[in-house]
Structure 1
Amino acid sequence: MSVEIDHPLLDGRGPGWAATETRADIVALTVGMSDFLSRVVAAGERPIVVSGEFSRMTQPLSEALSAVGGHWVVRTADDGCFDARTGARLDRPESVMAAPSLTTAGVHPAFVRPAIATRLQFVATVSTRHRVTRPVRLGGVLEAASEAFTGGPPSAWGPTEPLVAPWDRDDLTEYTRRRMPLDTRWAAVAPGEHPFIGTLQAARTGEGLEETTRVWADVAGAGEARIGAIDLEARRFLADAAGIGMPLLGVAFATIGSPDLARRATASPPPEPLALLIGPPGVRASGLDVKRWAAEFGAAVVGSPRLPGVLVALGSADGGGWERLGQALGTLDPARTADLLALSPRVAAQLHDRSPESET
């Protein structure tokens, strides 16, 4: 039985989907958009956000849309629609539900046009476990990332954009606690010369509370000296993250993007892996020999001697990281590696979606 969706942003609906359409330059996770996504999901359907071809989508909305299995579709002025993630041509926005072909012939030309992508960015995902039998304080990894790349904590946080509440880890933790056992998603921002934005998702699991943090940080423009240090900064950040709660898995990338950190509906070059953190649960689950990894891959042992984790340098902004990542994971038992990556499905999906094979 279909559930009625009564919402001012609703512009179209069909079996299994509901769409909203906008021509805003920046499509954000506003209060109205957040409410629309929630109502569509509550009705058992998948949301579709339709925008113009030059619209930008904020990272918090992109993350929220992906988390509920939604889609971003672009409607061009005179040449139909396409899937903003793959570039696949679409007869109608709702055709995205049918997983259209990703063949080269089916890619819309607007998807492969040159984009404004002039800045080196740092992108990382870290999954952390907290034992609920101990006092929990969330937001530590997000704060550490902001400190590392902007020199200070986030300036504001909240569930929707614009983010207006002053950054406060205790408030964030308390509001998350009140929403349990529901999953909770927050965003934080640190404006300035080098913009920073992060998202945090908290969820109860059989092992306790799992906090998944993803961050985007502007690093440098072409020719700036900081480009050559991004791999070192990545390792320092993941080493800091290893000391917060019980780290499960972390991976850091260098990528090229736009100055405002927002997503464009255009193809982008694959990111370059910089560093990989496998926390104590992953070490145990994979049967990983910490000393051998240290010897073969120059891995740093992080955490306590009783519960060690490993931090592996993978590559730089110039490349080399995918090969080294494959070599590192290739030393593990395949079945155990699958279990390891399942500890954080979003991280596993990131690694899979951005592997060289997936780009072909």
Structure 2
Amino acid sequence: MTAATAAHPLVDGSGPGWVATETRADIVGLNVGMSDLLGRVASDGDRPLVVSGEFSRMTRPLAEVLSALQGHWVIRTSDDGCYDAATGARLRRPEDVLGPRATDVHPAFLRGAVATRLQVVTTVSTRHRVSRPVRLGGVLEAAADAFAGHAPDAWGPTEPLVAPWDRDQLTEYSRRRMPSDSRWAAVAHGERPLIGTMHLARTREGLEETTHVWADVAGAGDARIDAVGAEARALLAKAAGIGMPLLGVSLAAIGAPDLTRRPIATPPPEPLALLVGPAGVRALDLDPRRWATDFGAAMVGSPRLPGVLVSLGGASGGGWARLSEVLGTLDPDRLAQLLAIAPSVAARLRTRGLGGSPERTGGA
């Protein structure tokens, strides 16, 4: 840790390879100070720890950045030590999250949520050829239209998000930052609000845009629950025509009404739909017509270079078995190669180990 990082007003502790900041805010977000601290910690090669109280919630933009930096969210309870917000593992000290941990789960992690909502969580990895005009933010805008019914209201690099949504400005700011990566967030308000993040990076193939979206879609007993599978497929079908999609997945998840992440155990999400873009079709040596016959897949995107869209299930379940069936027909080495070029989508697909036993997860 450099002297500049050590002097940062948000630093509350440090040790070999880690820097911690502690807060008791109800909602822990990616404000300017937090963003600055995380940037400095990453530049020093350390791992950030965000320590909060057991009833705090974390915004999705902060959770995404923290994950990208291999950081951790640690909960300090009022009278019973600490635990890892992602797994519930009990910790003696916050920094113990970086080493071997106890196998027992802290009881605070297992407490029930006061209120929950059904969310559609979508991740899409898209390539853009820099030899052609590029306009970023298309997948996130399509998601906002699909669920909120209008374009995002605001966007920016830190919270609160206050700049009016502007894809051209987003594209230009990202271009100016090249070859450095860019991370942006956007929000759409309304009856079915949405929060999304975008990670933009240069690769040997051009520009890669990874979009994560969390959309509030229904409450308990809402008739719209039955439609989430169709809505997820419609969104991925639209994403198939934006740039050159690599891979995309939509899942139904139980989450907080304000779309934040909570430090408690939640039911595993249920897969709704899988998109394999043209690059994925080639990498897997996949015959779209065969998938249409075997799995009822739809050919989407460009007729000349189509992708495939597979329905996996609905909010009530069955998606993991279907996903295992579909992926089980693929060559394991080719599948591993595809997942390696779309790691964010792979992480969503591994929520239950690609069809294995459910992993303990915190705050969907």
Which TM bucket (shorter chain)?
A: over 0.9
**Cα shift at 1:194:** 1.6
Matches within 5 A, 1:211-250: 211-250=209-248
Alignment-derived partner of residue 314 in structure 2: 316
Is residue 158–residue 165 contact of structure 1 (8 Å, CA) maintained in 2? yes
Is residue 246–residue 279 contact of structure 1 (8 Å, CA) maintained in 2? yes
2:21 equivalent to 1:3: no
C-alpha distance in 2 between matches for 1:260 and 1:87:
22
Q: Structure 2: which amino acid aligns with 1:213?
A: T
RMSD of the TM alignment (CA)?
A: 1.0
Alignment-derived partner of residue 59 in structure 1: 60
Residue identity (%): 71
| Residue 62 to residue 99, structure 1, CA distance change in 2 (3 Å) | farther
Q: Give the TM-score normalised by the residue count of structure 1.
A: 0.97
Matches within 5 A, 1:148-297: 148-297=146-295
| Residue 57 to residue 99, structure 1, CA distance change in 2 (3 Å) | farther
C-alpha distance in 2 between matches for 1:289 and 1:56:
44
Which shifted more, 346-355 or 77-86? 346-355
Render the CA deviation track for 1:103-133: whole Å, top value 9, x for unaligned.
Answer: 3xx1000000011342111100000000000
Q: Structure 1: which amino acid aligns with 2:271?
A: P
Matches within 5 A, 1:96-175: 96-101=97-102, 103=103, 106-175=104-173
C-alpha distance in 1 between matches for 2:344 and 2:241:
21
C-alpha distance in 2 between matches for 1:353 and 1:33:
28
Alignment-derived partner of residue 39 in structure 2: 38
Is residue 282–residue 340 contact of structure 1 (8 Å, CA) maintained in 2? yes
Is residue 116–residue 257 contact of structure 1 (8 Å, CA) maintained in 2? no
C-alpha distance in 1 between matches for 2:177 and 2:153:
23
**Cα shift at 1:351:** 1.2
C-alpha distance in 1 between matches for 2:313 and 2:239:
19
C-alpha distance in 1 between matches for 2:221 and 2:162:
34
Structure 2: runs of 5 or more not aligned: none
SS at structure 2 position matched to 1:79 = coil
Q: Structure 2: which amino acid aligns with 1:149?
A: F
Render the CA deviation track for 1:296-332: whole Å, top value 9, x for unaligned.
Answer: 1000001223211100000000000000101111111
Q: Structure 2: which amino acid aligns with 1:97?
A: L
C-alpha distance in 2 between matches for 1:62 and 1:317:
24
Is residue 155–residue 190 contact of structure 1 (8 Å, CA) maintained in 2? yes
SS at structure 1 position matched to 2:357 = helix
SS at structure 2 position matched to 1:323 = helix
Alignment-derived partner of residue 13 in structure 1: 14
**Cα shift at 1:276:** 0.1
C-alpha distance in 1 between matches for 2:76 and 2:328:
42
Is residue 352–residue 358 contact of structure 1 (8 Å, CA) maintained in 2? no
Render the CA deviation track for 1:173-230: whole Å, top value 9, x for unaligned.
Answer: 0000010001110000012222210000000011100000000010011111111000
C-alpha distance in 2 between matches for 1:55 and 1:316:
31
C-alpha distance in 1 between matches for 2:184 and 2:252:
23
C-alpha distance in 2 between matches for 1:336 and 1:358:
24
Which shifted more, 185-194 or 233-242? 185-194
Alignment-derived partner of residue 357 in structure 1: 357
**Cα shift at 1:257:** 1.1
Is residue 125–residue 252 contact of structure 1 (8 Å, CA) maintained in 2? yes
Is residue 117–residue 256 contact of structure 1 (8 Å, CA) maintained in 2? no
| Residue 124 to residue 12, structure 1, CA distance change in 2 (3 Å) | same
**Cα shift at 1:239:** 0.3
SS at structure 2 position matched to 1:228 = helix
Alignment-derived partner of residue 79 in structure 2: 78
| Residue 289 to residue 170, structure 1, CA distance change in 2 (3 Å) | same
C-alpha distance in 2 between matches for 1:50 and 1:71:
8
C-alpha distance in 1 between matches for 2:136 and 2:295:
32
